[in-house]
Structure 1
Amino acid sequence: MSKEYYSSVDLDDFKNVQKLAYDAVESVAGRLVEGMTEKTAASLIDSYIRERGGKNFFHYGFAWFGDRTAFRGFRRPLTWKRIGGDGVLPHWGFQFQPSDRKLKEGMAVILDVAPNVKGVTADVGYSFSFGENAAVKQGRLDLREFRSLILGLVRAEKTMGEIYRSCNDLIVELGYNNCHTIYPNGVLGHKVGKIPAWNVPAGRLLGFPPQTFLYLVPQILKGFFSASSNASPLWGEFTKSRVDAGLWAVEPHIGKIYSDSKAEESFGVKWEEILVVSDTDVYWLDEDLPHVHFWKDQEKTKTGKKTIPIFKTKKNSKTKTGVA
């Protein structure tokens, strides 16, 4: 895997694209109405990005509602499923694509997008509930622990696999299911950077344009054929390399997954943001992010101080809007 280094000017560009992505998901969160489908929400995210100069994507917008935020019933893509013990079929991850699932009051919501602006990309994930849901709110609060844990372990030069397993131990300790294990390769995160051929019109394969594969696949192959390490741009459970210099989109995703009798209570929550890694330092690219504000606001509430809302939703007497 190639180390990647960026100037302060470059990092400002990445910060701006990350902000654009979060502006998009926050805007769409405020426009959600009961009965809207995941497909419509995802389309609104993409439209917001395009209207503000993002002509391409690292991946297009995703939206998941209800138990789909926990990937309940999903299987990891690119794995094989036995049929009656006699045969196998490939699984390509179509379950992750935005569906016709309709939004209902109290549902968990995850909005996720990775815009590409002139080759500079960022990847974000935003969790909340449509209306009141105490379990989702608690899950969002519990996610705070992972941000400091991951930062500390990267600074301690632990391998990606070691950090992954430490996060999994914390998930179990907190009483949640590990939802990011269902992502392709079960990743906790992945590299982002400057994407080649960003100005070439892109197609779409399972929510990704071909330029994304042009960026990731050569690094995957380099790590695969390296005799000295198991380096990879994908942050997996068994990745033996340390977190190399570059930018990493980290996305701890936890949830509660219940059986059929309580299926509607299943939910998942996550955050996703860029971690900057150099040869001498490690830090989160930005502190001005929705989940960071949420944690600070909740802490202020405990101490009785006035809080500031994450964002304001438009009032509409005919529809229900907003998050809790």
Structure 2
Amino acid sequence: MAAVTETLPGAPTTGTGEGERRGRDRFHRGALRWVLLVVSAIVALLMIAPFVIMLLNTFKSPDDYSAHGPLSWPHEFYTHGLKVFWDRVDFPVKLWNSIWTSGLVAIFGVALSLLSAFAIGIGRVRGRLWIVGVFLLANMLPQEVLIYPLFRMMQDIGLNNSGWSIVLIFTVIQAAFGTYLLSSVLGTFPRALLEAASLDGANRWQILWRVVFPVVRPTLSVLLIFFFIWTWNEFFIPLVMLTTNDTQTVPIALASLQGDRMLDVPTLNAGTLVSLIPTLIFFLFFQRTLTRGITAGAVK
């Protein structure tokens, strides 16, 4: 005999309708995830494509490039372009100049940003809003406006054609941004924590290094990485300030490969690849620090 089930009027219904709705929601969420995954993969490929093309043209001879174009596979493993770039621009000297100038700018810029932001955000100096506005305005000024007075200033103090001119200029420029950022962060620092440290006998210097610095250290690590990369990529001011081969940096070395009437594309790609490797290593080495700094700042 076949069992017949009836649903009495007013009896509670089963969870079939709710289960179907949950199934549909799960299906839509799963479909949305696949769409986002496909879009992310396409964006990633578009971002990687220029680097792949650069890598192909690095190991391609000039004749091969002229005959088959930039998108073809190299017909031979051509490494002479790397040697030409290395010898023509004296790359080890350029690399060292970029490393020590960018490193000092990152360290000095972060230190100056912390001290200035501590005075503005926690010290509560008079005219705090006006000072922060000046720092914001300094970040908006184009380098073309600053180049002439900066060049004359470096000449007057005897630092023309010296890497120290780059260190001084970009320490101030980067510290302007760092001060603007940190002053807003320290302006919301818990006053109760500062008052407790003062009651325990801590002076201003001890409050800075034992109370404030541990809290903002993740943000400082992010600024350190950004200041290094930003200074490394600078071109216009170093091009004007540094006039000889023994003081110039990596971006200027790349620009020297471009002539008035001829451009050796494989050599330029080889130089770009060699110049990209140090910054890539630096980013991979500090990637965890950057991630922790951003997430810690978001949590705080």
Q: TM-score when scaled to structure 1?
A: 0.22
Relative contact order, CA 8 A, sep 6+: which one is greater?
2
Larger helix proportion, structure 1 or 2?
2
Higher strand share: 1
Instruction: Tell me the TM-score normalised to structure 2 length.
Output: 0.23
